[in-house]
Structure 1
Amino acid sequence: MKKVILKNIIYCLLFVFFISCDKVTDKSKTSESTKTKMEQNKLPHKEMNKLGLIGGTSWHSTIEYYAAINQSINDYYGNNTNPPLLVYTINQAEVHRLQKINKWDAIAEMLKEAALGLQKGGAKSVMFCANTPHKVFDIVQKQLDLPIIHIGDATATAIKNKGVNRVGFLGTIYTMEGDFITKRIADNNVEVFVPEEKEILTELQRIIEEELTYGIIKPASKTYVLNVIQELVNRGSEGIVLGCTEFPLMIFDDDLEIPIFNTTKIHSEAAVNYILKE
């Protein structure tokens, strides 16, 4: 009798074991099937759009662009597939010299020549890897027959998607005194605040030009920038736009209690969307 009971128990255990194996196999097959469908829905890597990056202002932030775009494409394909990127580095020292003597037409010519060089290399679109060069965006775009992905448009979209209606904007003295970035944001029904005192604009420019473009991060300078941000918050800002691609090297999400709009990251995401034809 005991042998019969033991035999039945063994049969039951074997039955449960085989049923469990079947379920695991079914789940495995389902998982593989789902994975295959996901892979089939991805854009074939040979069909990615080739993008040209005009960097060098500064090369430190250009590295951030390059890394962010490549990492996002790797994540999309789930391996080390890299995007078809071309990089043209312009001379930042010359750009700074021309800015100081108000020769923006010469800067526009530098950017145009860079874009044409990238186009010859096969780029279907280009982007300026910084905010300030967008001061001559319209001039350069009129001389090209390929599109330039605008950092201001991408930033405005990110702000609206976050549900923020009032932002503080920090950048170079040229982006804060001009409206070639802030207006494109404001045109999307977003109120934009910038520092008003000339001495603040000048000091922010000094920090960018003499420190951040060299990769130098000074605690005292970071404290100064955070104090300027707090003044913008006191004026009603619900988010802060880091409208210079060097500021994200210094200011991070954990530094503030309100959303940060990192234009380097946002512009890089726009680049990824273009590359993947989204």
Structure 2
Amino acid sequence: MKHIGIVDITTVGACLCANEIVAQAAKLDTSGKHPEFTMHAFSYDQYFDCIRRKDWISLGNKIYESIKLLEKVGADFIIIPSNTPHFAIDLIEKQSRLPVINLINIVADECERKGFSRVLVLGTKTTMQDGLYDNVLNSKNITPIIPTDDVCDKIEHLIRNEIIPSKINFTTVQDIQQDIKTYDCDAVILGCTELPTVYNENNLGKPVIDTTRLLAHYALKLANEDNLSSNEQLASE
């Protein structure tokens, strides 16, 4: 199996993704066999400073530094278990000599496969309000629904100040949960890899696209394939 390189932006999401790779592999092979993977992270504040300033060039360059390190230890392809950094995906793909999985495209393809026409996009405030998913969903005739400003603020607070530092207040979780249920949509994109730690189809009462686990399953599939040579090959799948 191929060696997966994981760029860890937020360790909560990256570890959830890595754990899902192992768990899914165990369903396919009870011997405990799973792909080799290596994870690299700079201090989170270095990423967050770029995101706060919406400096996608600096963020892409920082992620590329991780990719170069992962390439040195033998990674065959790269995953980035974090949605917001995909504002820099074009730059990252151009710089990287290794194939980089585009999470946003995978999520949109899954929405199309499941026949959704209206999806509520959750994530960081930047992901939601700056339209990370808008173009790719619109190209598939899927309408992205974005929460109101006050709900976006609540979700941003939950992610930044509660989930990432492991200080979850379930009153916050439940308050947002009730907000989510008011939206007219076919499904909910958990467009932040930390959100599956608190939300799922059961407590939201709607179909959910779990971007973290979807990425893990896709990475496992690629790790088991015979041929993987370029970003173009990934983009065509």
Give the TM-score normalised by the residue count of structure 2.
Answer: 0.89
Distance in structure 2 (CA, Å) of the matches to 1:60 and 1:256:
21
Asked if structure 1 preserves the Cα contact closer than 8 Å seen for 2:181 and 2:205, the reply is no
Question: In the alignment, what sits opposite 2:217?
Answer: 269
Alignment length (residue pairs): 226
Asked if structure 2 preserves the Cα contact closer than 8 Å seen for 1:104 and 1:136, the reply is yes
Tell me whether 1:61 sits opposite 2:47 in the alignment: no
SS of residue matched to 1:94: helix
Question: In the alignment, what sits opposite 1:52?
Answer: 5
Distance in structure 1 (CA, Å) of the matches to 2:54 and 2:75:
30
Per the TM alignment, residue 257 of structure 1 is displaced from its structure 2 partner at its CA by 2.3
Per the TM alignment, residue 170 of structure 1 is displaced from its structure 2 partner at its CA by 0.5
Per the TM alignment, residue 223 of structure 1 is displaced from its structure 2 partner at its CA by 1.8
Q: Which region of structure 1 is more displaced relative to structure 2, 102-111 or 241-250?
A: 102-111
Question: In the alignment, what sits opposite 1:206?
Answer: 157
SS of residue matched to 2:32: coil
User: Percent identity, aligned pairs only?
Assistant: 21
User: Which amino acid letter does the alignment assign opposite residue 6 of structure 2?
Assistant: L
Q: Determine which of 36, 46, 53 is the counterpart of 1:101.
A: 53
Q: Determine which of 22, 28, 37 is the counterpart of 1:85.
A: 37
Per the TM alignment, residue 76 of structure 1 is displaced from its structure 2 partner at its CA by 1.6
Tell me whether 1:237 sits opposite 2:190 in the alignment: no
Question: In the alignment, what sits opposite 1:217?
Answer: 168
Distance in structure 2 (CA, Å) of the matches to 1:211 and 1:96:
15
Q: Determine which of 90, 99, 103 is the counterpart of 1:151.
A: 103
Give the TM-score normalised by the residue count of structure 1.
Answer: 0.76
SS of residue matched to 1:167: strand
Distance in structure 2 (CA, Å) of the matches to 1:120 and 1:219:
42
Q: CA RMSD in A?
A: 1.6
Per the TM alignment, residue 225 of structure 1 is displaced from its structure 2 partner at its CA by 1.6
Where does the alignment leave 5 or more consecutive residues of structure 1 unmatched? 1-47
Matches within 5 A, 1:123-142: 123-142=75-94
Larger proportion of helix: 1
Per the TM alignment, residue 262 of structure 1 is displaced from its structure 2 partner at its CA by 0.8
Provide Cα deviations, 1:183-215, integer angstroms capped at 9, x if missing partner.
223322211101132x33222212111111112
Q: Determine which of 244, 253, 269 is the counterpart of 2:201.
A: 253
Asked if structure 1 preserves the Cα contact closer than 8 Å seen for 2:181 and 2:204, the reply is no
Relative CO higher for 1 or 2, CA cutoff 8 Å, sep ≥ 6? 2
Per the TM alignment, residue 160 of structure 1 is displaced from its structure 2 partner at its CA by 2.2
Distance in structure 2 (CA, Å) of the matches to 1:262 and 1:134:
16
SS of residue matched to 1:99: helix
Question: In the alignment, what sits opposite 2:114?
Answer: 162
Asked if structure 1 preserves the Cα contact closer than 8 Å seen for 2:154 and 2:176, the reply is no
User: Which amino acid letter does the alignment assign opposite residue 72 of structure 2?
Assistant: K
